[in-house]
Structure 1
């Protein structure tokens, strides 16, 4: 991978409580410029989520892996916060 920063994609559902926890984390840690919110209620977002093997929300695509479930997504986002980068 190059040193170019990737945008993370957060696949979520508005009414899903674990998705809400992750969205709140993104806002609390000012990651909005790094994380693209993709609501899987919309066909285009759902298709991308399924393409990466999505079956659980929330899910975070980091360009290489789809991290599924709030615990896995929060762990990945915490690494972004702690390292100050997405790698």
Structure 2
């Protein structure tokens, strides 16, 4: 084998090796990107879950307050009307 051919072969092997390394790096970057995307989706799902829980917790005192108010109100017969602090028949 001539020296020129040897150098050319060596260069081709070197370029092929670099290309292979680049492909591996590219694959690794894609895998990392997918992993990050999965984490973002998971974080978003968790955030949505937390938001739903937070909204439910915020809504809970309102419904509890309504129930408390309804329980505290006197039961008024249909035949009575309320006039500023006193009951009179309608």
Whichever of the two has the greater Rg, that structure is 2
Write 1 or 2 for the structure with the bigger share of helix: 2
Write 1 or 2 for the structure with the bigger share of strand: 1
Q: Could you say which structure has the greater relative contact order, defined with CA pairs below 8 angstroms and 6 or more residues apart?
A: 1
Decide: shared fold, TM above 0.5. Answer: no
- Report the TM-score when normalising by structure 2: 0.19
- Report the TM-score when normalising by structure 1: 0.19
